[in-house]
């Protein structure tokens, strides 16, 4: 296994050497002192065109000399610094951005061949020397203006927008309906997925299609969207049939030619969808597909010496074109051995799900061990979660990013539901409090990182990511259901409201916000499983509750002793393992067997179907 991380600040190039700097105040101070523009290169160890640009553009002697002499060159790994990528990415990787010493964008693009690069750097250099004041003024104007704060209370669940001369209100139901319409409009009925090409998996869109199907009484049109898409992806070229694992996306409409990098994040999300589809449809094809991904993850990305999961495997088109016997004769594509907290936590949450859906307890152990690793090595109460653990140096780096708190928080609530250990719920609440204290803004949304005025460039300003805030809203909604603390639900609503005025411009990406709105509007189904640890009927009943597909849903495993502490006498007096299921204020008859609980779950689904969740233009009301 190759372990070298190719995209690093101090990389040497054949035919030329560029003195790459790390992002930080020192580099920008030198740019100010030497009165030079900054060349910012953003890429990733898995990125094919990053390596191509290293091999030709940055290895060109003239290019290297020009950059070394006239610019302050900074190199950033997008996986290690998503906060920088969020603010400076110019359309993909590699991003090549020319900045003022203050950190504002002058110009840039993605992949640039040597001849074009010489032309661009010459133009930037001449313009900077001729009119640096005007150049900096133009760069400041190029910066995106901050958006005005939008806040609403939970009791209103709407925002007001202008359309012509009349005013309309946008409700959570409107958001859900719009997102569902986007799914149907952009669905590719021939090949599955959405749009033409390049074609990405779009996991949140597939998840919302599952929810719509469930509450539309198994509407075959909705079922086809996620079943056909997942089957087409798994049997197409975007899945590695030899060694397993999904590639990042397809360059073709029919999923036949992938972009060959494999990402832990993508495989964790698609694994979860395969598991829920297996449970929803009863089709063993999807369970087998999930097992194949798990095999890949365990064989290639698991790091047994530390107990975590590597972030990605690099693209290598020639390698993946070989049959198995030929692959075995050459080295495997490089592995990024950094343990990224957000992706490891995302996988851990999915592994808890795999343990019950596939009835394989080892995935429960993997999930808990992963979370123990992250908590012990990447958490400080005052700093929150770090973003990644550098395995080679055993050092946690880049603290306090929102996405790490959110996905570790969601993984911790999953650990609580799977284990019944209150410590995991308490830890999730600690992370939530960190976010509210350190990442809150006037806008209502949470910033992607703590703001520090001394940070150079755009890092001094907040960035509001729709997807991360949406997942945060789902996390806070789970916390509200599990703890009974309504303040979490109020904050979840604030997060969704802060994007209500703009969700339509996110098109299909609005599905992540819609899923958050669904949880807030409907509240989670609650299944409390009560019993003593020695009761042989407790584990089957608990597993059935965890596996039940009635989203959104939370599960609590409660001992009679805990029930007495909570003052729940109806729980404390049970003599055998019992499940108590509720939807809001309506509670169903207690269940003592998995079969009884499954019947209750069906009743919960029917009750949800009985009232309108959202309206879909291209189908009947949900």
What pLDDT digit, counting tens, does each position of 356-395 carry? 999 999 999 999 999 999 999 999 999 999 999 998 877 9
Rounded CA-CA distance 539/335 in Å is: 38
Q: In the prediction, which pLDDT does 135 show?
A: 79
Question: What is the percent of the chain where pLDDT is above 90?
Answer: 81
Question: Mean pLDDT across the chain, nearest whole number?
Answer: 91
Rounded CA-CA distance 348/269 in Å is: 11
Q: What angle do CA 139, 140, 145 make, to 5 degrees?
A: 125
8 Å CB contact between 526 and 584: no
Report which of 502, 520, 467, 535 is spatially closest to residue 157, judged by C-alpha positions: 520
The arithmetic mean of pLDDT across residues 265-280, rounded, is 98
Report which of 278, 293, 155, 172 is spatially closest to residue 227, judged by C-alpha positions: 278
The residues with which 558 forms a beta bridge, in sequence order, are: 530
Determine the distance from the C-alpha atom of residue 503 to the mean position of all C-alpha atoms in its chain, rounded to a whole number: 18
Taking residue 138's Cβ as centre, other Cβ atoms within 10 Å add up to 16
Please provide residue 313's backbone torsions phi and psi, each rounded to the nearest 5 degrees. Answer: -125, 130
pLDDT higher than threshold 90 for residue 441: yes
Q: In the prediction, which pLDDT does 7 show?
A: 54
Rounded CA-CA distance 588/601 in Å is: 9
Residue 454: pLDDT band (50, 70, 90) is confident
pLDDT higher than threshold 60 for residue 620: no
Rounded CA-CA distance 154/486 in Å is: 10
pLDDT tens by residue, 543-597: 999 999 999 999 999 999 999 988 898 899 898 999 999 998 899 999 999 999 9
Report which of 540, 604, 600, 529 is spatially closest to residue 571, judged by C-alpha positions: 529
Q: What pTM was estimated for this model as a whole?
A: 0.93
Q: In the prediction, which pLDDT does 617 show?
A: 66
Query: Burial letters for 155-177: b for 16+ Cβ neighbours within 10 Å, e otherwise?
Result: eebbbeeeeeeeeeebbbbbbbb
Q: What's the token pair of residue 254?
A: 């029919």
Q: What's the token pair of residue 7?
A: 């995209």
Q: In the prediction, which pLDDT does 352 show?
A: 98
Taking residue 80's Cβ as centre, other Cβ atoms within 10 Å add up to 25
Give the CA distances from residue 133 to residues 69, 73, 252, 284, in Å, rounded to whole numbers and listed in that order. Answer: 21, 21, 45, 65
Residue 402: pLDDT band (50, 70, 90) is very high
The number of residues making up the chain comes to: 622
- Give 90's Cβ-side CA count (13 Å radius): 20
Please provide residue 548's backbone torsions phi and psi, each rounded to the nearest 5 degrees. Answer: -55, 135
The arithmetic mean of pLDDT across residues 236-255, rounded, is 97
- E strands in 186-319: 249-250, 258-259, 262-263, 302-303, 308-309, 312-313
Give the CA distances from residue 415 to residues 13, 355, 387, in Å, rounded to whole numbers and listed in that order. Answer: 45, 12, 20
> Which residue do the tokens 């749009």 mark?
195
pLDDT higher than threshold 70 for residue 163: no
Among 32-46, 481-495, 563-577, whose mean pLDDT is lowest? 563-577
Q: In the prediction, which pLDDT does 133 show?
A: 82
Better-predicted residue by pLDDT, 455 or 7:
455
Give the CA distances from residue 299 to residues 185, 287, 309, 518, in Å, rounded to whole numbers and listed in that order. Answer: 39, 18, 11, 37
Q: What angle do CA 586, 588, 589 make, to 5 degrees?
A: 150
Spatial CB neighbours of 520, under 8 Å, sequence gap ≥ 6: 154, 157, 172, 473, 477, 489, 492, 493, 496
- Give 209's Cβ-side CA count (13 Å radius): 28
Taking residue 96's Cβ as centre, other Cβ atoms within 10 Å add up to 23
């Amino acid at each position: 296994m190759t372990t070298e991380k190719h995209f690093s600040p101090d990389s040497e190039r054949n035919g030329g050497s560029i003195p790459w700097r790390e992002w930080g105040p020192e580099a920008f101070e030198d740019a100010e002192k030497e009165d030079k523009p900054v060349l910012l290169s953003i890429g990733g160890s898995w990125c094919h065109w990053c390596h191509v640009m290293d091999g030709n553009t940055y290895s060109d002697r003239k290019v290297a000399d020009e950059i070394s002499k006239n610019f302050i060159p900074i190199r950033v790994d997008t996986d290690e610094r998503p906060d920088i990528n969020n603010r400076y990415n110019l359309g993909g990787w590699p991003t090549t951005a020319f900045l003022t010493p203050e950190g504002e964008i002058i110009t840039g693009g993605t992949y640039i061949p040597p001849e074009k690069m010489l032309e661009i750097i010459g133009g930037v250099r001449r313009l900077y020397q001729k009119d640096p004041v005007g150049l900096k003024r133009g760069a400041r104007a190029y910066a995106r203006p901050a958006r005005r704060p939008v806040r609403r209370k939970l009791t209103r669940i709407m925002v007001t927008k202008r359309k012509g001369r009349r005013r309309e209100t946008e409700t959570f139901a409107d958001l859900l309906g719009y997102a569902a319409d986007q799914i149907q409009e952009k669905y590719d009925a021939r090949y599955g997925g959405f749009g033409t090409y390049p074609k990405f998996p779009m996991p949140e869109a597939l998840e919302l299609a599952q929810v719509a199907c469930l509450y539309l009484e198994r509407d075959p049109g909705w079922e086809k969207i996620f079943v056909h898409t997942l089957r087409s992806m798994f049997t197409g070229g975007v899945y590695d049939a030899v060694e397993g694992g999904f590639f990042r996306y397809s360059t073709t409409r029919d999923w036949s030619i992938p972009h060959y990098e494999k990402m832990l994040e993508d495989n964790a999300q698609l694994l979860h969808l395969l598991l829920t589809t297996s449970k929803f449809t009863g089709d063993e094809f999807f369970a087998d597909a999930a097992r194949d991904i798990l095999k890949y993850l365990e064989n290639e990305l698991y790091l047994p010496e530390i107990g975590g999961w590597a972030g990605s495997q690099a693209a290598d088109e020639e390698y993946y074109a070989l049959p198995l016997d030929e692959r075995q004769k050459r080295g495997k594509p490089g592995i990024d051995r950094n343990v990224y907290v957000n992706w490891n936590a995302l996988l851990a949450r999915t592994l808890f799900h795999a343990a019950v859906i596939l009835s394989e307890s080892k995935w429960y152990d993997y999930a808990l061990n992963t979370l123990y690793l992250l908590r012990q090595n990447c958490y400080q109460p005052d700093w929150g979660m770090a973003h990644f653990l550098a395995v080679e140096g055993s050092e946690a780096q880049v603290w306090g990013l929102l996405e790490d708190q959110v996905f570790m928080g969601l993984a911790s609530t999953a650990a609580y539901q799977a284990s019944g250990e209150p410590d995991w719920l308490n830890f999730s609440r600690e992370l939530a409090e960190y976010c509210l204290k350190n990442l809150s803004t006037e806008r209502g949304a949470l910033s992607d990182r703590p703001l520090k005025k001394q940070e150079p460039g755009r890092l001094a300003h907040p960035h509001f990511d729709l997807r991360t805030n949406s997942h945060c809203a789902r996390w806070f909604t789970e916390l509200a259901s599990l703890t009974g603390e309504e303040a979490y639900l109020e904050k979840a609503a604030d997060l969704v409201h802060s994007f209500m005025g703009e969700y339509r411009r996110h098109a299909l990406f609005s599905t992540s916000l819609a899923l958050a709105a669904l949880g807030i509007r409907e509240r989670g189904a609650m299944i409390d499983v009560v019993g003593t640890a020695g009761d042989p009927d407790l584990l089957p009943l608990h597993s059935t509750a965890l596996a039940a597909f009635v989203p959104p849903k939370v599960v609590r495993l409660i001992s009679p002793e805990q029930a007495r502490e909570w003052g729940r006498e109806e729980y404390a007096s049970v003599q055998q393992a019992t499940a108590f299921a509720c939807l809001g204020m309506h509670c169903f008859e207690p269940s003592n067997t998995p079969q009884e609980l499954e019947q209750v779950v069906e009743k919960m689904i029917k009750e949800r179907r009985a009232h309108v969740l959202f309206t879909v233009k291209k189908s009947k009301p949900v």
